[in-house]
Structures are given as C-alpha cells and as structure tokens.
A = this chain, B = another copy of it.
C-alpha cells in the first residue's frame, strides 16, 4: 500500500540504511548512489513516515504551543510570529487553547508530552503555581512568551511593563495630572501587576494616591469597557491606563456617550498594541509592543534549547515604544 523505505531500498538495490542516509542528507553516500536512490524516491513517490522516524530517533520536529485564546488578537499575533520561526527551523506547531486555565494548561501539557514534542512554548498572562511547577520539572524545554514566572527563573521573552508604566505615569504627572485610573483584566494578570507597580511607584513618589475606586479589573473585552468606565467614573479620572486595547476603546466610547470629550476631558492609553489602535477614531495612544517578535524570539530561543545551542540570555526583554495618539493630549 504505502511505500516504505524498504521498497525504495529494494528498487534502488541498496540497503535501508543508505536510503535513510540519502533522505537525511548524510554526506557519506556516493553521488551516483544518491542519484539512483533519489530517482527511485521520486518514481515511487516515497514520503518518509515522520511517526516512525520520531519513534526511532526520539525527535518529532514538533513543538507544542499552549495559548490562552487564538482568537484574541494579541495572542494570534504572537502565534503568527512563533509559527513563522518554527517553520523556518522545520518544526511543526501543535497549538492548543488553554483559556489561561491552570487545569486545561496541565492537561494540554501532558498531551503534548505524550505526543513527544521536542519543546513547548507557553503563552499566557498568568502563570499559576501549579503550571509553573509543572514547567520547572518538564523533561522538554519550555519557553514563556509574553509572560513571566514569579522568580523569573524560566526562559522567557517579554517587554518591561513596569518601565513602560513608569514612563507613561511620569509623563502625565509632569503634565500636571492628579487623578489617575487603572483598568485591567482577562489574561493579563502579570501585566496588570507590573503596570500597577510602575504606576504606584511614581505616584507615591509624587504623593499621589490611586484610590481603590479608580481601579477596575474586568474581562479585557470591548463591551467590558463600558463597565470599566462606569466603575471608575465617580473618581473623575483625568487619565486611565488600560491593559487591553479593546477595553480601552470601550472606555473611550462609553466616556463619549457620557458627554466627555476625548482627550480633553479624559485621556486613555493602552498596553496591548494590537492593530486595533490605529483603526479607531480618535486613534488610541498605546505602548507599541513587538508582538510578532515576542512570539518569534520565543520560538528562536526554544530552538536553541532543543538543539543544545549555547544560550546567552534565558530571559530576553524586548524594547517597546510609547506612541501618544489621539486619545491623549499633545
């Protein structure tokens, strides 16, 4: 039925080993032999069975990707970057949605190990203790893209949210802003913590407080922006820092519906940097993150682990840039 390496060997009058060498580009084959084998491979339309190869070699050239939600623009952008690099290095990617739920993450992780993946990329806003522990004792290399573990000992690729947050907060403080608000939610718990940390640091340096009522943790969706606005509006904020673009846009619209002028009455800036930010009017001020690269660099790092290449930095921090657009004052 299906043509195997054995069929090719017989037709080409060589051993299986030689066919295997040809297929795998092993140089120890006489050119004449190589040509003959290749001719037979072509003629019989032989296609190596990756499963058998995986069993024999203990390498599957497959990597697992644990992702909160592929339909989320932020993550799908990472996924694209990561898959492009995987392909470049001849790896296939098994992608599975976790909703950033620890139980699902662990289940997916075990499934991936059972499939004998050569490595795993973990995407997720938050790393539960259970998940972190599982990754710690993983038998295959794991790289975190777009998140960090508690003690930052796992290989990871990120941007520095704390710093971005400080920079933004400082800018507004210098502009005389006194009343801040913060909105987060969804998968981005780690980002929340860091952004909040950055804000609080600068705020307290200047004797400004961020009241509880000016902080809202919701669900990262557009529609949740309305709730966020309703929740914080009584503190009469001048500026709101919002993790999610969608949520931020929701806030802008809710504020406008409430009769506020953007950015004169309320300024909004977000951290996700999906393509969305330029698709709305006014354009959303935001932290430009290299989403594609966070995925791509993560995968590149993983390939190094999988191929035992030397690792310079197991924790890489990519640059960001803050763009003040239409939802903030000049």
Bound together, the chains give a CA A323 to CA B176 distance in angstroms of 45
Known contacts A49-B114, A76-B70, A114-B50; A95/B95 CB under 8 A: yes
Query: Can you name 7 A-B pairs with beta carbons within 8 Å?
Result: A49-B114, A55-B55, A71-B292, A76-B76, A93-B94, A94-B95, A279-B279
Flag whether A304 is at the interface (Cβ < 8 A): no
Q: Give every chain B residue within 8 A of A315 (Cβ-Cβ).
A: none
Flag whether A15 is at the interface (Cβ < 8 A): no
Known contacts A76-B76, A83-B70, A110-B47; A62/B94 CB under 8 A: yes
Interface string of A274-310 (1 = CB under 8 A from B): 0110111100000000001000000000000000000
Chain A interface secondary structure, helix, strand, loop or mixed? helix
Cβ–Cβ contact A48 & B114, under 8 A: yes
Q: Give every chain B residue within 8 A of A94 (Cβ-Cβ).
A: 62, 92-95
Chain A residues bordering chain B, tally (CB within 8 A): 47
Cβ–Cβ contact A281 & B279, under 8 A: no
State which of B48, B97, B250 has its C-beta within 8 Å of the C-beta of A84.
B97
Cβ–Cβ contact B70 & A97, under 8 A: no
Bound together, the chains give a CA A113 to CA B46 distance in angstroms of 12
Interface string of A69-101 (1 = CB under 8 A from B): 111110011011001100100001111110000
9 nearest A-B pairs in the assembled complex, by CB-CB distance = A71-B80, A76-B76, A51-B54, A95-B95, A50-B115, A50-B114, A51-B116, A71-B76, A71-B77
Flag whether A138 is at the interface (Cβ < 8 A): no
Cβ–Cβ contact B69 & A80, under 8 A: yes
Instruction: Give chain B nearest CB distance to A283 CB in angstroms.
Output: 10
Interface string of A107-131 (1 = CB under 8 A from B): 0001101111000000000000000
Flag whether A224 is at the interface (Cβ < 8 A): no
Instruction: Give chain B nearest CB distance to A140 CB in angstroms.
Output: 12
Known contacts A51-B51, A96-B87, A281-B253; A70/B62 CB under 8 A: no
Bound together, the chains give a CA A79 to CA B249 distance in angstroms of 25
Known contacts A49-B114, A51-B55, A97-B83; A70/B70 CB under 8 A: yes
Instruction: Give chain B nearest CB distance to A101 CB in angstroms.
Output: 13
Bound together, the chains give a CA A87 to CA B108 distance in angstroms of 10
A residues 21-54 touching B (CB-CB < 8 Å): 47-52, 54
Instruction: Give chain B nearest CB distance to A313 CB in angstroms.
Output: 26
Report which residue of A77, A246, A256, A276 has the largest number of chain B beta carbons within 10 angstroms of its beta carbon.
A276
Q: Give every chain B residue within 8 A of A250 (Cβ-Cβ).
A: 279
